[in-house]
């Protein structure tokens, strides 16, 4: 089963196209202990409550930096967290945004897929094909999400530059098609729905199945309704994932009377309902 098949299977199984970002902020975790203990207990509690209630995402996305900032303890905790979510059948997208020359890329690919045992990884295309190919050629059953039009405010600084009549982000979309293997995907932010629609239209016109990872809903202010409408007009929505991180992780902050895990489950349930998959 390749990565696209796993995306479809998890969407069917969990009745969701939500990707839950696992981005720990120690100051917002209402638990005691060392960094590793707090982070692991926090996400284990949320996962257990999700399983108990039958309300789950259909992928998770830990961001490497949120763990690496705590050194070896943080990275060891990341490995444990990836393991417990994978045991429940949830694909894990390793958000590391790697991009380097081919020899270094091979080392990064080994890190992502053999050390952390991720199902997919986010990648920068800035160095071209030889920085991406080691991930695809060395691990053909995994997924590789290429940064295309990111959700941050200054993404336009480079991604919107005119490149022969089209913006750079559309040139990246063209490259994704030319580099195509089953499992290659695209990161396109919910904060730019018109650009997301252009990117998705390019992929659809190519006849290739290119899964989108869509950050930016929730605290970043992405228009969920527009995103859902765009996805539902584009074919099989099961291959795409709408990411939400802090709005679910720290939902308890809006209702301090709730246990953090209960609040997270409620926020996830609401997001699943709004998407209407």
Active-site residue 97, yes or no?
yes
Tokens encoding 82:
């990836």
| Neighbour count for residue 122 (Cβ, 10 Å) | 26
Task: Answer positive or negative: Cα dihedral of 147, 149, 151, 155.
Answer: positive
Residues in the chain: 277
Task: Answer positive or negative: Cα dihedral of 267, 271, 273, 277.
Answer: negative
| Neighbour count for residue 153 (Cβ, 10 Å) | 9
From 80, 97, 106, 171, the catalytic residue: 97
Catalytic residue annotation: 97
């Amino acid at each position: 089963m390749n990565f696209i098949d796993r995306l479809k299977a998890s969407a069917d199984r969990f009745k969701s196209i939500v990707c839950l970002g696992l981005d720990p902020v120690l100051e917002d975790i209402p638990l005691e202990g060392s960094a590793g203990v707090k982070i692991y207990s926090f996400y284990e509690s949320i996962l257990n409550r999700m399983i108990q209630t039958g309300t789950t995402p259909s992928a998770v996305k830990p961001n490497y930096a949120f763990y690496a900032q705590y050194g070896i303890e943080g990275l060891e905790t990341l490995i444990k967290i990836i393991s417990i979510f994978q045991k429940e059948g949830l694909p894990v997208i390793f958000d590391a945004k790697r991009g380097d020359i081919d020899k270094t890329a091979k080392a990064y690919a080994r890190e992502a897929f053999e050390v952390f045992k991720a199902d997919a990884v986010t990648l920068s295309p800035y160095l071209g094909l030889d920085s991406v190919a080691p991930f695809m050629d060395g691990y053909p059953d995994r997924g590789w999400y290429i940064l295309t039009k990111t959700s941050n405010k200054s993404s336009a600084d480079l991604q919107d530059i005119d490149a022969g009549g089209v913006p750079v982000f559309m040139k990246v979309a063209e490259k994704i098609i030319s580099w195509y293997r089953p499992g290659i995907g695209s990161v396109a932010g919910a904060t730019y729905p018109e650009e997301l629609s252009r990117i998705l239209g390019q992929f659809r016109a190519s006849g290739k199945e290119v899964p989108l990872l869509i950050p930016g809903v929730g605290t970043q202010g992405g228009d969920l309704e527009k995103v859902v409408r765009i996805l539902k007009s584009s074919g099989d929505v099961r291959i795409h994932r709408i990411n939400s991180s802090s709005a679910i992780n720290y939902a308890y902050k809006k209702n301090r009377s709730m246990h953090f895990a209960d609040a997270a489950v409620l926020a996830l349930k609401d997001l699943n309902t709004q998407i209407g998959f």
